[in-house]
Amino acid sequence: MQSELSALERTGTWKLVDIPPNVTPIGCRWVYKVKLHADGTVERYKARLVAKGYNQIEGLDYFETYSPVAKVTSVRLIIALASINHWFLHQLDVNNAFLHGDLKEDVYMVIPPGVKTDKPNQVCKLIKSLYGLKQASRKWYEKLTSLLLQHHYVQASSDHSLFTKKTATAFT
């Protein structure tokens, strides 16, 4: 639990503020998981802080939640092109992807168990997304899209989750 809290504080996920008038903060809870090796022995214990996004109010705490996923036809086309052209395919996973999204909305959350505060009536004002928020996947999509466009990738008009970049020596 403590390592998760340290990571959230280190990445600036929230700041402690006095609760604004007429604001009802959303709750949060800890979700625990045991990660196992293939042989069934314990690899590690995980704790993840999750916002109770089901308490969020549309138009106040969030506005858009939709985030596109790759179309099956796009994936099949890329695999076919790679096969025909003898390209190497690579994949990657972004650890804690949803936690990278920046929030523009004012979302307030109760202080999680394990976080100490000196002042009563304080809450966490979320700066970055947290698992459980209705807009978490949308904010990650916006962050990734912005980054790819900054690096001169081109977004396909037929599939908004498909980005390509062609240089003199590579096609990605």
Tell me whether residue 122 is in a domain: yes
Q: What is the pLDDT of residue 134?
A: 95
Q: What is the pLDDT of residue 3?
A: 83
Tell me whether residue 169 is in a domain: no
Tell me whether residue 41 is in a domain: yes
CB atoms within 10 A of CB 162: 18
Tell me whether residue 90 is in a domain: yes
- Give the model confidence (pLDDT) of 131-157 as tens digits: 999 999 999 999 999 999 999 999 999
| Number of domains comprising the chain | 1
Tell me whether residue 50 is in a domain: yes
Tell me whether residue 171 is in a domain: no
CA angle in degrees (0–180, nearest 5) for 56-117-22: 35
Does residue 6 surpass a pLDDT of 90?
A: no
Q: What is the pLDDT of residue 116?
A: 85
CA proximity to 130, closest of 21, 19, 25, 22: 25
Q: What is the pLDDT of residue 49?
A: 94
- Alpha-carbon separation of residue 21 from 4, 121, 122, 165 (angstroms): 30, 11, 12, 48
Tell me whether residue 35 is in a domain: yes
pLDDT band with cut points at 50, 70 and 90 for residue 10: confident
Question: What's the whole-number mean pLDDT along residues 24-29?
Answer: 95
Residue 121, domain extent: 2-164
- Give the model confidence (pLDDT) of 82-129 as tens digits: 999 999 998 889 988 899 999 999 999 999 988 888 888 899 999 999
- Give the model confidence (pLDDT) of 31-85 as tens digits: 999 999 999 999 989 899 999 999 998 988 889 999 989 999 999 999 999 999 9
Q: What is the pLDDT of residue 4?
A: 87
- Alpha-carbon separation of residue 90 from 79, 114, 172 (angstroms): 11, 39, 10
Place of tokens 């062609």: 166
